[in-house]
């Protein structure tokens, strides 16, 4: 096989708009390829040189970014049709038709501008499910509960969720207009409910996902687990909550609560 020399530039094709409900259009930018270049460095190039392939000067592309090492979740977008973080997406490995990469904002959240979306719904949901351990206060009251290595490993797996929204973008059940909670919330409930003190609010959390938009609305497409960049055990969480909500419903019935 004859190795062809790698291309010197590539085309970054970006879906742009001025916000939710505003018309969108595509613009293309030619970007020089540098060794181990990622999408962020390509976007930085465009920010400094906002000229399209048609030679038109345009306003620089807007996108959300933070740590650039796939731990803050900010720079999530749809790249070549797949949702992922743009910092850990290397250009050389993702060129389509030889020299093009397409970028779109996530489709399940309102667009702020260009590639930047508003994921406030995810944080609001954490509030709804009482996403915290109800400690007595910050005063010195000694150590927390001990736990086994196995318990720690299980909780650690869930605690790496960076609220990026990949699982929700890929979920056929989760839409802009409905109130489905989605895998992010289910995983966090499992996380807090498996802590000795966090458990104190377990019933309240289960109540939230027994309402419309809760666990029974999950269509079991299992897309969420395939796209989670931190490989959270999302299906385990969904299965576990399915069982627990059933038990919880029975308990509620016999205690006379609705």
Partner 1 sequence: MADHPRVIVVGGGLAGLAATVRVAEAGVPVDLFSMVPVKRSHSVCAQGGINACNTVARQQGYSEWQHMDETLLGGDFLNHQPPVFEMTHWAPKIIDLLDRMGVPFNRTKEGFRDLRLFGGSIFKRTHFAGASTGQQLLYALDEQTRRYEAEGKVNKHEFWEFLWPVIDDNGHCKGIVAQDMRTMEMKALRADAVVMATGGCGMLYGKSTMSVICTGGAASRCYQAGAWLGNPEMIQVHPTAIPGEDKCRLMSESARGEGGRVWVPRKKGDDRKPADIPEDERWYFLEEKYPKYGNLVPRDIATREIFFVCQDGYGISGGNMVYLDITHLPMETKNKLAAILEIYEKFTGDDPRFTPMKIFPAVHYSMGGLYSTYTAVDDARGMVSGAHNNMMTNIPGLYAFGEVNYAYHGATRLGANALLSCIFDGLFCGLSVANYVRDGVAHEQSAGQAPDSLFQKYVDQEQAKVERLIANDGQNNPYEIWREMGEEMIASATVVKTEDRLNQAYTKINELKEQFKSIKLSDTGTWTNQNLSFSRAVGDMLKYAETILAGSIARKESRGSHYRLDYPKRIDDPFHKTTLVKYNAAEDKPEITWEDIPLPLVPLRDRSYGKVEAAAEKDEKKEEATSV
Cα separation, 171 vs 80, whole angstroms: 17
From 113, 223, 123, select the one nearest 168 (Cα to Cα).
223
Phi, psi torsion values for 248, nearest 5 degrees:
-60, -40
Please, what is the minimum distance in Å from the beta carbon of residue 239 to partner 1?
Answer: 21
Site mask, partner 1, residues 132-151, x = CB under 8 A? xxxx-xx-xxxxx-xxxx-x
- In order, the DSSP letters of 165-179 are -HHHHT-SS--SSS-
Rounded to 10 deg, the angle between the 183-193 and 234-254 helix axes is 70
CB 75 within 8 A of CB 61: no
Which of 1, 36, 256, 258 forms a contact with partner 1 (CB under 8 A)? 36
Site mask, partner 1, residues 211-250, x = CB under 8 A? ----------------------------------------
Of 97 and 150, which has the nearer Cβ to partner 1?
150
Indicate whether 73 belongs to the interface with partner 1 (CB under 8 A). Answer: yes
Q: Which residue has the tokens 């931190």?
A: 230
Q: Which residue has the tokens 């499992």?
A: 190
Which of 40, 95, 202, 235 forms a contact with partner 1 (CB under 8 A)? 40
What tokens appear for 114 in the block? 């260009």
Residues that bind partner 1 (CB under 8 A): 18-19, 34-38, 40-41, 44, 47-48, 50, 57, 59-60, 62, 65-74, 87-88, 90, 112-113, 116, 118-120, 123, 126-127, 130-135, 137-138, 140-144, 146-149, 151-152, 155-156, 159-160, 162-163, 192, 195, 197-198
């Amino acid at each position: 096989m004859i190795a062809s020399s790698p291309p010197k530039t590539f085309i970054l094709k970006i879906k742009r708009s001025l916000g939710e409900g505003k018309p969108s259009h595509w613009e293309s930018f030619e970007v020089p390829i540098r060794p181990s270049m990622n999408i962020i460095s390509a976007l930085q190039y465009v920010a400094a040189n906002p000229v399209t392939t048609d030679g038109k000067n345009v306003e620089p592309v807007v996108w959300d970014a933070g740590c650039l090492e796939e731990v803050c979740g900010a720079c999530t977008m749809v790249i070549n049709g797949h949702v992922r973080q743009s910092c850990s997406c290397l250009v050389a490995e993702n060129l389509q038709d030889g020299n093009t990469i397409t970028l779109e904002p996530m489709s399940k959240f309102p667009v702020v501008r260009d590639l930047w979306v508003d994921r406030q719904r995810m944080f609001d949901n954490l509030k709804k499910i009482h996403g915290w351990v109800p400690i007595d206060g910050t005063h010195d009251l000694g150590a927390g509960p001990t736990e086994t290595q196995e318990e720690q490993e299980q909780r650690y797996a869930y605690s790496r969720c960076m609220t990026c929204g990949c699982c929700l973008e890929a979920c056929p059940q989760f839409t802009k207009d409905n109130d489905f909670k989605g895998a992010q919330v289910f995983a966090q409930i499992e996380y807090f409910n498996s802590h000795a003190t966090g458990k104190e609010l377990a019933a309240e959390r289960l109540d939230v996902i027994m309402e419309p938009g809760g666990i029974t609305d999950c269509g079991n497409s299992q897309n969420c687990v395939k796209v989670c960049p931190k490989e959270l055990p999302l299906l385990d969480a969904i299965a576990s909550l399915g069982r627990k909500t059933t038990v919880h419903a029975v308990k509620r019935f016999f205690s006379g609560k609705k």
